[in-house]
Chain A
């Protein structure tokens, strides 16, 4: 009788385990810590770009872009074209809706009360009952207070996202993932980042860890993920995704979707829980790194190419 019970229990366990899909992962996710210095576990370059001074010094010492994990060419210089987009965002921020209110009605002239706020996003939103990114927060706020429909990945939403982010320029990223739903989102995002998916069976980490970083991928220059989220939303001139009308602004959600499309994964819905979790993971691994808004993905400076050619 005891034996039969044991046998029955043994039978049940594999059935339950079978319900859980065993995904494929690239190695390394257990090593990730939610701070930009966590890069030391993934590349041997953190000391070259850990702050503006370090970037300047490594450039002066003649290090190539590749040696500094491609972190130099867009971080140091602001984008002049991006400034024009910030101005457009400021205009939307002060524009009065039909009910006579604007974003400035609650958040102050020139977003006074939003200084430094973007560096702490994504965040748990108690009213929505879930973790939200900048664009989702803009959507919820615009609907509730202005009765405007500005969903993620639309023009006004992206302009506002860039404008509000610019109010945190220079402020170190500080996303708290120590407990609760934010901790859960971070862990889920980390899991998704290393999970292999899609037609190529790639993970995000296929291009952003190991030998793939500091190498060339066609015309692209993949680097480790640490620190990069501090520059988003980014002014991104060279190409658009099909159907884009977002003023060439790549929010982090938009960037994740673009990466998914390029690597033949199913592009996620911007603002959805899984996409939000990936953003939490990316932003938290930029903790401690100052926001730099607006920069642009492909800086106009091509010095690094001349250096490569002269090698």
Chain B
């Protein structure tokens, strides 16, 4: 009986170790900047982006150190296929004001949106190359330094996989 208890305890400990290891693996992406942001804020929820995340980026203040942060360097990226993602998740990211908020400026498949950017309602039909779409969302400054679009990649607004989800969603309209 005692031995059985001991095995049960050992088993529980082992299971706990495995579970916590997998939780750790999930919360650590290997990207320090991204991890720092996501540890303080989960996008897409009810909470607005907190101040201690915002102070990591350039700001208007004269008094705070963020007033002297240099702008993030332009990031040229290469898209590695194939494109795999979840259209439903991509849609949720694209229409949420506290996530990607694409709909603020663009109409999207199934969603009427803002008119600042071009409509993407039938984007799938246009057959744009995937590496172009990926770069455009990651860091639009490669194509136009004065574009009115967030730089989703360099400031870790979205992760690589989240951008892929959005890509699957916006190219889904055929």
Residues of chain A whose beta carbon lies under 8 Å from any beta carbon of chain B: 21-24, 26-27, 192, 195-202, 206-207, 210-212, 215-218, 242, 260-261, 264-269, 272-275, 278
Report whether B61 and A218 are in contact in the complex, using a CB–CB cutoff of 8 Å: no
A215 to B107 alpha-carbon distance, docked (Å): 13
Q: A199-B49, A199-B53, A215-B116 are in contact. Are A23 and B155 (CB under 8 A)?
A: no
Report whether B57 and A272 are in contact in the complex, using a CB–CB cutoff of 8 Å: no
Which single member of B54, B55, B146 contacts A264 (CB below 8 Å)?
A: B54
A to B CB contacts below 8 Å, 24 in the list? A21-B69, A21-B70, A22-B70, A24-B58, A192-B60, A197-B59, A199-B53, A199-B155, A200-B150, A201-B57, A212-B148, A215-B114, A218-B97, A242-B48, A265-B54, A266-B64, A267-B51, A267-B54, A269-B61, A272-B61, A272-B62, A272-B63, A273-B62, A278-B60
Report whether A199 and B103 are in contact in the complex, using a CB–CB cutoff of 8 Å: no
Query: How far apart are A112's CB and chain B's nearest CB, in angstroms?
Result: 37
Q: A196-B71, A272-B61, A274-B60 are in contact. Are A216 and B114 (CB under 8 A)?
A: yes
Which single member of B48, B59, B105, B148 contacts A198 (CB below 8 Å)?
A: B59
Asked if B66 is at the interface of the complex by the 8 Å CB criterion, the answer is yes
Query: How far apart are A207's CB and chain B's nearest CB, in angstroms?
Result: 8
Asked if B157 is at the interface of the complex by the 8 Å CB criterion, the answer is yes
Report whether A216 and B61 are in contact in the complex, using a CB–CB cutoff of 8 Å: no
A132 to B42 alpha-carbon distance, docked (Å): 38
List which B106-123 residues lie within 8 A (CB) of chain A: 113-116
Report whether B114 and A200 are in contact in the complex, using a CB–CB cutoff of 8 Å: no
Report whether B114 and A217 are in contact in the complex, using a CB–CB cutoff of 8 Å: yes
Report whether A24 and B71 are in contact in the complex, using a CB–CB cutoff of 8 Å: yes
A199 to B54 alpha-carbon distance, docked (Å): 6
Which single member of A21, A198, A212 contacts B54 (CB below 8 Å)?
A: A198
A residues within 8 A CB of B58?
A: 23-24, 195-198, 201
Q: A197-B58, A274-B61 are in contact. Are A23 and B116 (CB under 8 A)?
A: no
